[in-house]
A and B are shown apart, each in its own frame.
Chain A
Amino acid sequence: MNRLQIVTSFKKEIWEFNKTLFWVPIIIATLLIIMPIALLLIMDEYQTTQIIVGLVGLQQMTDLDGFAPVVLMTISGLFTPFIIVALLIQLYYFINCLFDERRDLSIYFWRSLPVADSLNVGVKLLTGAVVVPAIFMFAASLTLLVFLLLALLLCTVLTLGYDISIWHFWAHADIISNLAAVWLNLVPYALWMFPVYAWLMLASAFATKAPFLWAMLPVAFVMLVESFLVAYFQLDQHVFANMLWNYFEFTQALLPHNVMAGNGSQLVVFSALATKLSAVPLIMGAGFIYLAYWLRVNRSQA
Chain B
Amino acid sequence: MSPLISISGLNKAYQKQAVLRDIALSVEPGQIMGLVGPNGAGKTTCLQAILGLTTYQGQIDVLGYNPKKQRHEMLNDVAYIADVAVLPKWMKVSQTLAYMQGVHPNFNREKAEGFLAKTNIKISAKVKTLSKGMVTQLHLALILAVDAKVLILDEPTLGLDILTRRQFYTHLLEDFYQEDKCIIVTTHQIEEIEHILTNVAFIRDGKIALSESVDDIRNKFKIVAVSNDNLDQARALKPLFANSIMGITTMLFDQAESKDLSSLGSISTPSLADIFVGVMSQETQL
Q: Which B-chain residue is minimally distant from A12 (CB atoms)?
A: B99
Q: Which A-chain residue is minimally distant from B92 (CB atoms)?
A: A15
Chain A's interface size range is: 20 to 34
Instruction: Give chain B residues whose Cβ lies under 8 Å from the Cβ of A108.
Output: 82, 84, 86
Instruction: Give chain A residues whose Cβ lies under 8 Å from the Cβ of B51.
Output: 112
Closest Cβ of chain A to B80, distance in Å, is 4
| Interface membership of A236, Cβ < 8 A | no
Instruction: Give chain A residues whose Cβ lies under 8 Å from the Cβ of B74.
Output: 114
Instruction: Give chain A residues whose Cβ lies under 8 Å from the Cβ of B48.
Output: 301
Selected contact of A11 from candidates B87, B92, B98, CB within 8 Å: B98
Instruction: Give chain B residues whose Cβ lies under 8 Å from the Cβ of A5.
Output: 102-103
Residue of A9, A108, A300 with most chain B CB atoms under a 10 A cut-off: A108
| Number of chain B residues whose Cβ lies closer than 8 Å to a Cβ of chain A | 33
Instruction: Give chain A residues whose Cβ lies under 8 Å from the Cβ of B217.
Output: none
| Interface membership of B89, Cβ < 8 A | yes
Instruction: Give chain A residues whose Cβ lies under 8 Å from the Cβ of B105.
Output: 114
Instruction: Give chain B residues whose Cβ lies under 8 Å from the Cβ of A107.
Output: 86
Instruction: Give chain B residues whose Cβ lies under 8 Å from the Cβ of A300.
Output: 53
Asked if residues B86 and A106 are in contact (CB atoms below 8 Å), the reply is yes
| Interface membership of A111, Cβ < 8 A | yes
Measured between alpha carbons, how far is A115 from B72 in the docked complex, in Å? 6
Measured between alpha carbons, how far is A12 from B90 in the docked complex, in Å? 11
Measured between alpha carbons, how far is A68 from B184 in the docked complex, in Å? 69
9 shortest A-B CB distances, which residue pairs? A8-B102, A106-B88, A114-B75, A108-B86, A112-B80, A108-B82, A109-B86, A114-B76, A116-B72
Selected contact of B103 from candidates A8, A298, A301, CB within 8 Å: A8
Asked if residues B75 and A113 are in contact (CB atoms below 8 Å), the reply is yes
Measured between alpha carbons, how far is A113 from B96 in the docked complex, in Å? 12
Closest Cβ of chain A to B87, distance in Å, is 6
Asked if residues A109 and B104 are in contact (CB atoms below 8 Å), the reply is no
Contact with B along A102-146 (1 / 0, CB 8 A): 001111110111111100000000000000000000000000000
Asked if residues B95 and A109 are in contact (CB atoms below 8 Å), the reply is no
| Interface membership of A279, Cβ < 8 A | no
Measured between alpha carbons, how far is A114 from B147 in the docked complex, in Å? 13
Instruction: Give chain A residues whose Cβ lies under 8 Å from the Cβ of B89.
Output: 104, 106
Instruction: Give chain A residues whose Cβ lies under 8 Å from the Cβ of B84.
Output: 105, 108
Measured between alpha carbons, how far is A107 from B53 in the docked complex, in Å? 11
Contact with B along A1-34 (1 / 0, CB 8 A): 0001101110110011000000000000000000
Instruction: Give chain A residues whose Cβ lies under 8 Å from the Cβ of B76.
Output: 114
| Interface membership of B233, Cβ < 8 A | no
Instruction: Give chain A residues whose Cβ lies under 8 Å from the Cβ of B18.
Output: none
Closest Cβ of chain B to A250, distance in Å, is 35
Asked if residues A113 and B103 are in contact (CB atoms below 8 Å), the reply is yes
Instruction: Give chain A residues whose Cβ lies under 8 Å from the Cβ of B224.
Output: none
| Interface membership of B54, Cβ < 8 A | yes
| Interface membership of B79, Cβ < 8 A | yes
Selected contact of B87 from candidates A4, A109, A111, CB within 8 Å: A109
Asked if residues B102 and A298 are in contact (CB atoms below 8 Å), the reply is no
Measured between alpha carbons, how far is A109 from B127 in the docked complex, in Å? 13
Asked if residues A301 and B88 are in contact (CB atoms below 8 Å), the reply is no
Selected contact of B88 from candidates A11, A104, A115, CB within 8 Å: A104
Sample 25 A-B pairs with CB under 8 A, ordered by A number.
A7-B102, A8-B98, A11-B99, A12-B99, A15-B90, A15-B91, A16-B90, A16-B91, A101-B88, A104-B89, A105-B82, A105-B84, A105-B85, A106-B87, A106-B88, A108-B82, A109-B88, A109-B139, A112-B80, A112-B81, A113-B75, A114-B74, A114-B76, A114-B103, A115-B103
Measured between alpha carbons, how far is A117 from B69 in the docked complex, in Å? 12
| Interface membership of B73, Cβ < 8 A | yes
| Interface membership of B55, Cβ < 8 A | yes
Closest Cβ of chain B to A182, distance in Å, is 32
Measured between alpha carbons, how far is A9 from B103 in the docked complex, in Å? 8
Closest Cβ of chain B to A110, distance in Å, is 8
Instruction: Give chain B residues whose Cβ lies under 8 Å from the Cβ of A114.
Output: 72-76, 103-105
| Interface membership of B100, Cβ < 8 A | yes
**Additional 15 contacts, C-beta under 8 A, given A105-B84, A109-B82, A114-B74:** A4-B102, A8-B98, A8-B103, A11-B102, A15-B92, A15-B95, A101-B88, A106-B87, A106-B88, A107-B86, A108-B84, A109-B88, A111-B53, A112-B82, A114-B73
Instruction: Give chain A residues whose Cβ lies under 8 Å from the Cβ of B54.
Output: 301
Measured between alpha carbons, how far is A164 from B47 in the docked complex, in Å? 78
